[in-house]
Structure 1
Amino acid sequence: MAHLTHGRNTMKKIRIALVATSAALFSASYASACAVDGAGLSILSAAFPAVEALQDESAACGAATERDQEHKDKINAALAANPSAYNAVLGANSTFTAANSEGLVAVITDVPGVADLPTSMKVEQDGEVVAIAVGANAQHLMVRADVLEATGMDMPSTYEEVLALADAAKAAGLMEYPLTGTYAAGWNLGEEFVNMWQATGEPMFVNGTEANIQNDAGIATLNMMKELTSRMNPDFLTFNSDAVQAQFEQGTAGIANLWGSRAQKVIDGGAALGVEVVMGSAPTMGGGSTPASTLWWDGYFFAANQSEEDLARAVALAIDSADADMLAKGDNMSLFVWMMDAYEATPAAAGVFATAGNGVPAYPMYSHMGKMHTALGAELTEFLSGQESAEQALADVVAAYNAALAE
């Protein structure tokens, strides 16, 4: 993967190196199992398989771990408490930015063990280390091989080809709804718009924080989303990553643009049904060359509102949890595109690497991006349900965004 530099927020520039083969392993001082006593520490995270593996390590060392797919809604309020309700958050670039813009994230440059981390794992802001990256993630195309074989079609590289494949699979009687996606109202729906928007190559904001979506690119984005959802189960506005993974495992769907962190579980689900699942780059749209996806880092950031002693213990526990021993357990190696040197790429990583190699942009990392994402997730359901026009939906999004920006 290429070295990525995130966009500027109102004050700061966040950067992280995401590389295909990570650099040196963690400091040897944390190499043994449970080198850190986690008793009294607490870590908040999402609940997908890769972070579950990390949380299992921390829990085995005595830490309290809270795993919640809606964790993003808790983070800022929890970190604003003094002392913070959690010592660390196992989150991503979007949740980090939201917390960091409120001054809730600790600088960890001088915390023991951080200097020994490889550059690829250090998330820096103005020369200071503010988070520890453990993996890279992106949504990318997953297609059952039997769908391709039965239709005589190649792996799609564009969303226009995805639509044709879905139609052909249904016409062949393979599945009633072969196409699925993470279109649940709220964060997931907002992310689907952001992903599709990237394929237009247009900036989402101009003149700083001014929304730039009420245009042809915005209408094209919505129209493609509607075309896709018209091929999905009518309950698509309830489908998050868990639901999409389950549809693959149950054999009711065979085409999706899903998170790379779900790839191994989708592959395993296909194997249980006796079918192979092919991983590919996120598709492009409308004749463009940019994949309709965003590149993310996942990792640890730490509460500013805690004692120096607890901060040092929390950082050490994070480093201890994300080590070679964790990777060697079960199928952990295949759950993520990990940043540790001990990581060996597996077939499950192919889609993330392909998407990154095709030039996928990083998720827009601006302090006001969260307000836009929230507005998108809340205001697009009526359009996708056929209750309003694309123009009206975009106007509603901008109005909601501007109202949030003015607060």
Structure 2
Amino acid sequence: MNTYAFRLSAVIFASASCLAAASHAECGIEAGNVSILANDFEALHVIATAAEECASPTVTVTKNHTTEHANLQGPALTANPSTYTVVMIANDSISGLLSTDKLLPLDDLVAEYGGDLQESQLIRVDGQVMAIAFMVNAQHLWLRKDILDKAGLAQPTTYEEVLAAAEAIREQGLMAEPLAASYKPGWDLAADFVNMYSGFGGELFAPDGSDVAIENDQGVKALEMMKALSAFMGPDYLTFNTNEMSARWRDNLAAIENGWGSRAGQAIDPAQTPLEIADATVFAAAPTVGGGTIPATTMWWDGFALARNISEEDATASFRAMMHALRPETAEAHPKAATWLIEGYQPTPAAAGVLASMEAGAKPYPMVPAMGLLHRALGDELADFMQDREDAQTALADAASAYRTAAREAGFLK
């Protein structure tokens, strides 16, 4: 069984632009192709743009930011040569790529070109470095302090208090639909369930990893809490993904939401959010739930890996371009874009919710080979409960059944 090693908190506490010619010289790349596939949010744009500084007449650097990145990774890296040389990944996406042997071990490149990396950035699998982490992330509370103050409310620290706060805000006429969460069926809905289930103390898999373990009281309670929260969201809440939630916050359509730390900087940036909203926005740890003691969220890392099916020249060029992107100057120039795992990073107010969740003991999102199949099954099957088409027990049974079918096909279950 693969053994994954990553210490999320080891380095958290531990000007920017150059002319293109100077940047190329700093990269030190003689030739090669660098092609980056990434999700579409600010921090990843920052890193990919910094890598582009390594482009020259003999070095090509291209990038593709898309919310469909996870669906593209497998086919793109199966091609020989791979369609992309660099994939920006996270806890959830690395497992499937590892189990199908699509990633290049990075130990030699780290030894030769990764001298500025910190131990906490090295994602090891069976003793080999398979990815480099550059930021830590989590979903946590975004709060409009001005609205809470008008309602005479303290900042909520439990989901039960979130429900009470939402009721008070609505009753006082301050906002009709004060809550928001990323409940869009698919990846987003599954992630929110995993967060809530973790808060109730649930374990996703049996102790020996042989089967899924969501058909239990914790699973039912997690779904029931998610449904209770949805009563204070708009009628179109099942269309809310991360992008929609950020827009609702910016448009004064939510007072409390469970937002990603990687989007927090935008919410307090007057250039991207109206000043009165930006100034009133504060971040806090994800709430606890059901009398639990840890936040109902999961900790994530984002980073990069290299495709196995690429030339040695392209692998070297790609790794060195990413090392250029991960210089301290990048974090210094964009301190609010992420909670960086880059040497010299100093946390900003945008990092407060991620750090508070981590310090309160939030669990890491599971980084095991079968987790991608379970996440997909949850995203596909739980929406029927949210739409009152079936009860919680049936929705969980459907998700477990879908997982088992996929896990048998993939060889994880007999």
Further displaced range: 113-122 or 230-239: 113-122
Find the partner of 2:356 among 348, 354, 357. 354
CA distance in 2, matches of 1:261, 1:57: 18
Q: Normalising by the residue count of structure 1, what TM-score does the alignment of the two structures yield? A: 0.92
Give the match for residue 87 of structure 1: 85
Query: Would the aligned equivalents of 1:146 and 1:275 in 2 still touch at CA under 8 Å?
Result: no
Give the match for residue 66 of structure 1: 64
Query: Would the aligned equivalents of 2:91 and 2:366 in 1 still touch at CA under 8 Å?
Result: no
Q: Output the amino acid matched with 1:91.
A: I
Give the match for residue 412 of structure 2: none
Is 1:283 equivalent to 2:287 in the alignment?
Answer: yes
Q: Aligned to 1:33, what secondary structure does the other structure show?
A: helix
CA distance in 2, matches of 1:159, 1:271: 28
Further displaced range: 207-216 or 377-386: 207-216
Give the match for residue 6 of structure 2: 16
Q: Normalising by the residue count of structure 2, what TM-score does the alignment of the two structures yield? A: 0.90
CA distance in 2, matches of 1:214, 1:386: 18
Output one character per residue of 1:62-104: Cα deviation in whole Å (capped at 9) or x when no partner: 3100001221111111111111110011121211111111111
Query: Would the aligned equivalents of 1:23 and 1:341 in 2 still touch at CA under 8 Å?
Result: no
CA distance in 1, matches of 2:68, 2:276: 29
Give the match for residue 151 of structure 1: 151
Task: Map 1:39-78 to 2 at 5 A.
Answer: 40-62=33-55, 63-78=61-76
Query: Would the aligned equivalents of 1:144 and 1:275 in 2 still touch at CA under 8 Å?
Result: no
CA distance in 2, matches of 1:227, 1:188: 17
Q: Output the amino acid matched with 2:106.
A: I
Further displaced range: 180-189 or 89-98: 89-98
Which runs of 5 or more residues in structure 1 are unaligned?
Answer: 1-10, 25-31
Find the partner of 1:33 among 3, 23, 37. 23
Give the match for residue 228 of structure 1: 229
Output one character per residue of 1:357-397: Cα deviation in whole Å (capped at 9) or x when no partner: 11000001111111110010010111101111111111111
Output one character per residue of 1:311-331: Cα deviation in whole Å (capped at 9) or x when no partner: 1111111110121232233xx
Output one character per residue of 1:208-262: Cα deviation in whole Å (capped at 9) or x when no partner: 2311111111110110010011211111111111110111101011211111011
Q: Output the amino acid matched with 2:283.
A: M
Give the match for residue 178 of structure 1: 178
Q: Per the alignment, do residues 152 and 39 of structure 1 end up closer, same or farther by CA in structure 2, a change over 3 Å counting?
A: farther
Q: Aligned to 1:342, what secondary structure does the other structure show?
A: coil
CA distance in 2, matches of 1:274, 1:328: 21
1:33 Cα deviation from its structure 2 partner: 2.7
Q: How many aligned positions are there?
A: 388
1:119 Cα deviation from its structure 2 partner: 0.6
1:116 Cα deviation from its structure 2 partner: 4.3
Task: Map 1:142-291 to 2 at 5 A.
Answer: 142-206=142-206, 207-268=208-269, 269=273, 271-273=275-277, 275-291=279-295
Query: Would the aligned equivalents of 1:97 and 1:365 in 2 still touch at CA under 8 Å?
Result: yes
CA distance in 2, matches of 1:106, 1:124: 12
CA distance in 2, matches of 1:275, 1:261: 18
1:40 Cα deviation from its structure 2 partner: 2.6
Query: Would the aligned equivalents of 1:179 and 1:253 in 2 still touch at CA under 8 Å?
Result: yes
1:22 Cα deviation from its structure 2 partner: 5.0
Give the match for residue 399 of structure 1: 401
Query: Would you identify which runs of 4 or more consecutive aligned residues in structure 1 move more than 6 Å?
Result: none
Further displaced range: 175-184 or 114-123: 114-123
Which runs of 5 or more residues in structure 2 are unaligned?
Answer: 15-21, 56-60, 410-414
CA distance in 1, matches of 2:191, 2:234: 19
RMSD of equivalent CA atoms: 1.6
Find the partner of 2:305 among 283, 301, 304. 301
Query: Would the aligned equivalents of 2:331 and 2:342 in 1 still touch at CA under 8 Å?
Result: no
Q: Per the alignment, do residues 23 and 323 of structure 1 end up closer, same or farther by CA in structure 2, a change over 3 Å counting?
A: farther
Q: Output the amino acid matched with 1:42.
A: S
1:270 Cα deviation from its structure 2 partner: 5.4
Query: Would the aligned equivalents of 1:209 and 1:368 in 2 still touch at CA under 8 Å?
Result: no
CA distance in 2, matches of 1:57, 1:245: 25
Q: Percent identity?
A: 38
1:60 Cα deviation from its structure 2 partner: 3.4
CA distance in 2, matches of 1:270, 1:155: 22
Q: Aligned to 2:136, what secondary structure does the other structure show?
A: strand
1:342 Cα deviation from its structure 2 partner: 2.3
Task: Map 1:94-173 to 2 at 5 A.
Answer: 94-111=92-109, 112-173=112-173
